[in-house]
Structure 1
Amino acid sequence: MKTKIIKVKDDNFNILSQAVEILDRGDLVAFPTETVYGLGADGLNPQAVEKIFLAKGRPQDNPLILHISDFRMLEDLSSGDLTKAKILAEKFWPGPMTLVLKKSNLVPDIITGGLDTVALRLPANEIARNLIRKLGRPIAAPSANISGRPSPTDARTTFEDLDGKIPLIIDGGSTRVGLESTVIDLTEDEPVILRPGAITLEMLREIFPSSSIDLSLVSADQVPKSPGQKYKHYAPKAEAYLLKGSLLEKVNKLSDFIKENSDKKIGIMGSSQLLSLFQASQIEAIDLGPWEDLDQVASKIFKGLRDLDRKNVDIIVVEAFSEAGLGLAIMNRLKKSTGNKYL
């Protein structure tokens, strides 16, 4: 199969008609959202959805998110009391928030991993919303990468993973958020964050003060309610470590580590503050931005891991960040990327 790339320019959404035709016939299309690129199939066609798992090498007990274009789809695809869902939707949709709700009979079992719940999101990206609207059905879409690899934030990275596996990639430029959506379970008495993202616990508690976050790990014999809970995710090809401590401790640890591994090609992903104090000609350095600009840091993580892999580094060292606010989502991804290994 030859994979074609089309680029949407100047809001020319008419070009999406060829993507709609592909989805309509039960095949796959990769497309941009504001979080990461998604690998999409007609969410109401089980045979089409099965192709997502095959293309990604993704286990079928790992639920998928259904992307929707309006509130009507929310009502059609879910059941039960939607009061909390509509309050959060009014506040954060379109945007990087996924809601886990009781599913309706319209949702195929392959979407939910056999659960009685469904994960729904209304993306902010106009290409994504127009694609769903033109199709007239929800689009099932995990991140458009080989399972276990860092999620793609541009069409180039998507092509590297899926070339020859899908017919079409829609190039909408680089994504804005750079981390997958916040997943919020609304099937309990109070909202529970199953996967942290740009909609933070602090933001959620402004609306529902008793909201919490599920930090427990899902064991091998449990079925996850949310994408990203169970299997290894976001791993670069290179061996990767987290770097923690005070700024001075980080600099000293890094210096010692580079000396001890002088025969290795090392990549560093760190804050502007760290990199301003550290200079070594033998390393590949990626500036994630200042500590205080976590939006910028988040948007660069997956791209940075991919860029260092392209430079064939042997080891990647990533600076650890505070876990307050968006930092919780950043560290969630970095811990998984590094296998929770620290220097």
Structure 2
Amino acid sequence: MPPTSKTVLTRDVSAAADMLRNGGLVAFPTETVYGLGADARNPVSVARIFESKQRPTFDPLIVHAANVESVRELVLDFPQVAQQLADAFWPGPLTLVLPKRDEISDLVTAGLPGVGIRVPNHPLALELLSAAGCPVAAPSANPFGGISPTTALHVRDGLDGRVDLVLDGGPCGVGVESTVLSLMTKVPTVLRPGGLPIEDLEAVIGPVARAVSDPSRDDSAQPSPGMLSRHYAPATLLTVIASGQTAVPVVGKRSGLLTYGASEVASGFDAVERLSETADLQTCAANFFAGLRSLDSQNLDVIIAHSFPPTGLGVALNDRLKRASG
């Protein structure tokens, strides 16, 4: 550990659970990204999340629970469609928005009546949630608007001294945030595409609607995290090009490339991150934020990124690129 580091990395689940129960902040791994967790029933602890991330309070948090029974205790209604989805996809990268009970802090939901809630599919996360015995509100464990963390070191790089413990569970397997589906609308509505492809949802419950982000409402209460027009963004300027387009560095600028598969690459790039040699979208998703973070650390003037096929996980990856490029 660097001598200047103030945040402890640990695999001690008991210590992390004690920290959560006592009002502390614990970063922990999920299958999607690392979350910055606090007891969702404790408004003072939840407020520390917003302070630590410098996150606006109109952007809500997702609550993590150990199992379906725990979820039922936190919501006013758990309809049959929710049970169908839970049976099919929990534990996993699906967040359901359901009417919350009063014990969930209004700060978690930006004052809205619905809470996004899920059961994560990571052994350390599930062990932590069971040991803590409380619902855990947890956005991604990084400064607000920046690149999401997929390793414990990413968390410490961004939040050193602002999180009490980081539970180190290695790299995240899915690599992009959960799909958020609201069940508080007439037709189930995808608020944020993510680690569960929309096609998989529709195979279980039929057609779903898709929310459209409205940049004019960026400073209003959001129904889900990840809906702001700029998010997941590197400090370096990011430009997105078509998946089949030949990438060319910007003349006179230190240029990086985020690509995948056998995409043709012109010479002259100062750095290249190829997310998957075979264009496998699961591999691309698992490596996406780490690849973007690597390029952002190399003192570049611009990052050029190939877009992804508009199906499966490509929908979520293109959503992240769109918001990262602002």
- 2 CA distance for matches of 1:292 and 1:317? 17
Structure 2 residue 153 is matched with structure 1 residue 166: no
Aligned residue number for residue 18 of structure 2: 21
Higher normalized helix content (fraction of residues): 1
Contact 2:233/2:323, CA 8 A, preserved across alignment: yes
- 1 CA distance for matches of 2:35 and 2:127? 14
- 2 CA distance for matches of 1:278 and 1:2? 41
In structure 1, list runs of 5 or more residues that go unmatched: 9-14
Q: Are residues 218 and 86 of structure 1, via their aligned partners in 2, closer, same or farther at CA, if it must alter by over 3 Å?
A: farther
Aligned residue number for residue 238 of structure 2: 240
Q: Are residues 316 and 208 of structure 1, via their aligned partners in 2, closer, same or farther at CA, if it must alter by over 3 Å?
A: same
Q: How does 1:113-192 map to 2 (within 5 A)?
A: 113-192=110-189
Aligned residue number for residue 294 of structure 2: 307
Structure 2 residue 21 is matched with structure 1 residue 34: no
Q: What TM-score, normalized by structure 1, do the two folds share?
A: 0.90
- 1 CA distance for matches of 2:133 and 2:104? 15
* CA displacement at 1:222 relative to structure 2: 3.8
SS where residue 242 of structure 1 aligns? Answer: strand
Structure 2 residue 6 is matched with structure 1 residue 2: yes
SS where residue 77 of structure 1 aligns? Answer: coil
- 2 CA distance for matches of 1:270 and 1:109? 41
State the 4+ residue runs in structure 1 displaced beyond 3 angstroms: none
- 2 CA distance for matches of 1:239 and 1:59? 23
SS where residue 109 of structure 1 aligns? Answer: coil
SS where residue 160 of structure 1 aligns? Answer: helix
Structure 2 residue 326 is matched with structure 1 residue 329: no
**Larger radius of gyration, structure 1 or 2?**
1
**How many pairs are equivalent?**
321
- Residue 197 of structure 1, aligned match among 175, 194, 197: 194
Contact 1:201/1:213, CA 8 A, preserved across alignment: no
SS where residue 207 of structure 1 aligns? Answer: helix
In structure 2, list runs of 5 or more residues that go unmatched: none
Contact 1:76/1:106, CA 8 A, preserved across alignment: no
Contact 1:239/1:338, CA 8 A, preserved across alignment: yes
Structure 2 residue 83 is matched with structure 1 residue 86: yes
SS where residue 165 of structure 1 aligns? Answer: coil
Quick one: which amino acid aligns to residue 63 of structure 1?
P
- 2 CA distance for matches of 1:327 and 1:282? 24
SS where residue 156 of structure 1 aligns? Answer: helix
